[in-house]
Structure 1
């Protein structure tokens, strides 16, 4: 889970609420080359399960270029170790849950630049990724201590909806074809 007021150095490409076509267009335009999806979070907190749920859904569909699932999460305790699994020369799309303003809950954000996972709950973790996609799962309380409680009180319905939207966009931008299903990495279609 992230908020990025203090650390964030990237640029927001777009915020998408029920606008999958625009997200797909922006992903195709900005995220190039072989891609690895690095899904940060844990199923121990409903809101923070967004990215591992995305990772699990992608794996179930046959994607091999995923780090972080419900069964094998990438989280605060093992983040640095999991980052060592990222192959050289790939574009890393870090996926994480985020807290935001009331009117942005239920939105996806595409951002260029590294993800600082855990920043919203006071964790100081290493940055990961070339791009990040955040699912805004609930409202930022303004207090790092309260944000942990907000994440735990997040409705799973919101998490599921955002995960399904993101997976559908990824499938459109990075389709698995019969000849590529066994390849480790998927590249964007033009």
Structure 2
């Protein structure tokens, strides 16, 4: 069984360079429009600290946990990464700890040269390990990826030789974005509760 909920209205995905000044506001608004009120919000940052490019997720999780989060629960950090070997364990843990979780999956990806450095948000599940031909279950109601390098050949070696400076810069930006989303969820809760009165 996958950690996916399928009842989200479809809007177009959004892809922007990580250093685009409009990234935080535009992407927060887009992801917020997909987010149901009054749920357990779970961010699962996928990857490993054993590969520079694949450390995007764990770096994001570690930076995000440095923030004062009110609504978002984070799994996957540099110290406790969520990767192919232990993913099933974390699936079970999320199901036990959270009732009807709304899952945002975060992972590194490879793409075209012009896409390197972009962050993408889209509705639907993420297929972790696809670039490395790993057969892992789909995950997420929404997925957010960072294109850390060029794909198409020798993906494992490409991830191993990705520049750490880019990965860290993108992960910090993603963590800031998710922290802003957490703050906006606060506003969404207060608005929805006042409407119900």
Q: What's the TM-score bracket when you normalise by the shorter of the two chains?
A: 0.7 to 0.9
Q: Give the distance between the partners of 1:135 and 1:11, measured in 2 at CA.
A: 19
Q: Give the distance between the partners of 1:101 and 1:76, measured in 2 at CA.
A: 24
Summarize deviations over 1:28-75 as a string: whole Å, max 9, x none.
212233310001000000000001111111112244601111101100
Aligned length: 168
Aligned pairs (5 A) from 1:17-166: 17=17, 18=20, 19-33=23-37, 34-63=40-69, 65-86=73-94, 87-140=98-151, 142-143=152-153, 146-166=154-174
* RMSD of aligned Cα (Å): 1.8
Q: Is the 8 A contact 2:24 2:180 kept in 1?
A: no
3-state SS of 1:160 partner:
helix
Runs (5+) with no aligned partner, structure 1: 1-9, 177-186
Q: Is the alpha carbon distance of 1:16 and 1:50 closer, same or farther for their aligned partners in structure 2, counting shifts above 3 Å?
A: same
Q: Is the 8 A contact 1:32 1:188 kept in 2?
A: no
Runs (5+) with no aligned partner, structure 2: 1-9, 189-197
Match of 2:194 in 1: none
Q: Which has the larger radius of gyration?
A: 2
The TM-score, its normalising length taken from structure 1, stands at: 0.82
3-state SS of 1:189 partner:
helix
Deviation at 1:158, TM superposition (A): 1.0
Deviation at 1:88, TM superposition (A): 2.6
3-state SS of 2:43 partner:
strand
Q: Give the distance between the partners of 2:186 and 2:126, measured in 1 at CA.
A: 21
Query: Which is helix-richer, 1 or 2?
Result: 2
Deviation at 1:11, TM superposition (A): 7.7
3-state SS of 1:175 partner:
helix
